[in-house]
Structure 1
C-alpha cells in the first residue's frame, strides 16, 4: 500500500478510497511456528503452484493463503478472521 501512497504523493493525486488487510500478518498469526512467512514459502508449504512476482498469481496465492488461514482459525468470514488475529481493516 505504501507504493500506492508514494505514487499518489509524487504525482500529486488524491489517494483512492481503498480498504485493505495485511495477509502477511494473518499468516504470521496463524502459523507462528514458521520461521518465515514469505508468499513463496507459504505456497510451497501448502502445495500451491505459484508463479512468483506475477501480479495475478500473487493475488490468487494470497487469497488461497487467507482461505487456509480462515479454515485453520475456524473463521467463516474476513471480519471474524481479522478479529481472531487481532487485526483490522485499514484505509489507504
Structure 2
C-alpha cells in the first residue's frame, strides 16, 4: 500500500498561516520520498504561542517562498493519493484555507485521521496525542517539527497496517469503523467515526 503523511505548522491561530509543511510518502511500509519546506505566510504575523510550540519565527521565513510558489512541488505529492494526518481536521483545514487565500483549487485525494485510527486500533492507551501514540509504536522524533511529525504519523499507520489485511484506506477505515475523508475540488468531507447503529426494536405482534 502507498500513502502520504502530511503535517503543517502554522504561524498563528489562522488556518491560512501555514509556515512549514512536511510530507512523507510510504510504499509497502517504507519511506520512499520526503519533502519539507518553510513557508512564508501571506500575512506575516507570528503568534508567540505558536512560536513557543514550533520554534518558527518571522525572521526564519522572510526569504522563503510562499505557498503559491511551492504548490507545483506539493500538488503531485497529494493529487489522487491516500493521505493521512494526525488530527487530520486541522491539517486539511490549513490546506483548504491556504489554497483559498491564493485562489487555488483543491486537489483530489482520500484521507484518514491517524488520531481517530489510533483510538480505534489502540483503545487501551491513556492518550492519543501524536507523541504518545508514536512512543507506543516505538518511534522517536522531534515533536512539532513538520517533517518529523509526518514521519511519526506514518509510523503509526504502518503499525496499524501490520495488524490488518487492508489493501487501501477505504478498507482500513471500514475495519476500524471510520468514514474515510475526501478532498475534492467541490469541497471536503472529514474523516469521522461511523455512528453506532442502535439495534432494531423487536416488532410486537398485533394482539388484534
Structure-2-length-normalised TM-score: 0.40
Structure 1's consecutive aligned runs of 4 or more residues displaced over 6 angstroms after TM superposition are none
RMSD between aligned residues: 1.8
Partner of 1:77: 167
- Tell me which structure has the larger Cα radius of gyration: 2
Distance 1:76 1:5 in 2: 28
The structure richer in helix per residue is: 1
Instruction: Point out where structure 1 has 5 or more consecutive residues left out of the alignment.
Output: none
The structure richer in strand per residue is: 2
Partner of 1:14: 105
SS in 2 for 1:56: helix
Per-residue CA deviations over 1:16-43 (Å, capped at 9, x if unaligned) read 2232111111101011122211110112
Alignment size in residue pairs: 91
From 36, 43, 46, the equivalent of 2:127 is: 36
Note the C-alpha offset of 1:69. 1.4
Instruction: Point out where structure 2 has 5 or more consecutive residues left out of the alignment.
Output: 1-91, 184-208
Structure-1-length-normalised TM-score: 0.81
Note the C-alpha offset of 1:10. 2.3
In structure 2, the CA distance between the partners of 1:47 and 1:29, relative to structure 1 (3 Å rule), is same
Asked which structure has the greater RCO (Cα within 8 Å, sep 6+), the reply is 1
